[in-house]
Chain A
Amino acid sequence: GAGVSQSPSNKVTEKGKDVELRCDPISGHTALYWYRQRLGQGLEFLIYFQGNSAPDKSGLPSDRFSAERTGESVSTLTIQRTQQEDSAVYLCASSSTRGFRNQPQHFGDGTRLSIL
């Protein structure tokens, strides 16, 4: 009965390095989302996966950002050549697609990324 699990919970890295963030959604949830939350700000949509459909990448801020999902389970968000502006909390959420519009998203605790 676990919720959405994200790892690592904290990541500190030097500018220019690549980072990989992981999300394990709730079992059976076919929809998976990544968001970014900068300090003191709201949530910024990044990317959305739904089953075998092509992902909605419309929120990715640059080509340094990419994400993959293995089937209907784990997803990884990769940021290449990190910049200080990438510092934020990266949140993953999943939801069921039954009665899709009415289903809330369940969020993980996030990965706090700090770029030095």
Chain B
Amino acid sequence: GNSVTQMEGPVTLSEEAFLTINCTYTATGYPSLFWYVQYPGEGLQLLLKATKADDKGSNKGFEATYRKETTSFHLEKGSVQVSDSAVYFCALRGAQKLVFGQGTRLTINP
């Protein structure tokens, strides 16, 4: 079945550091890929998405490229801020339901 594997956390960085959170997937067919973010005390929010190979999703300075050849959808940001501290979930959707990774907790120190 479909599955998502995320980089284990927690991840702690200093402000303005470069961020990469790895995500790889296993799926049949051509899934859509998503990154969701959960800020402290809040619900899940869609951060970005990509629906086909080589698509790049971007939002709030974050980017992720749908790489079919490596079955990956790594999340990157060039310069993180304290306000980016949250839990990040990679997810894919095949036929119906979203399948989520375990989440990566990110803490940014000033």
Contact = CB atoms under 8 A, between A and B. Distances in A.
A101 B51 contact: yes
Given A33-B98, A41-B103, A107-B45, A102 B89 contact: no
A35 B99 CA distance: 10
Given A101-B51, A107-B43, A108-B43, A42 B102 contact: yes
Interface residues of A, number: 21
B28 interface: no
Given A42-B89, A91-B43, A91-B44, A102 B49 contact: yes
B38 to A, nearest CB: 9
Contact of A43 (B31, B49, B89): B89
Interface string B36-78: 1000001111100101000000000000000000000000000
A109 interface: yes
A109 B97 CA distance: 19
A91 B97 CA distance: 14
B25 interface: no
Interface of B is mostly: strand
Interface string A88-110: 00010100000001101111111
A35 B19 CA distance: 28
Interface in B85-110: 89, 93-94, 96-103
B97 A33 contact: yes
A45 B99 contact: yes
A101 B89 contact: no
A109 B43 contact: yes
A33 B44 CA distance: 13
Interface of A: 33, 35, 41-43, 45, 48, 50, 56, 59, 91, 93, 101-102, 104-110
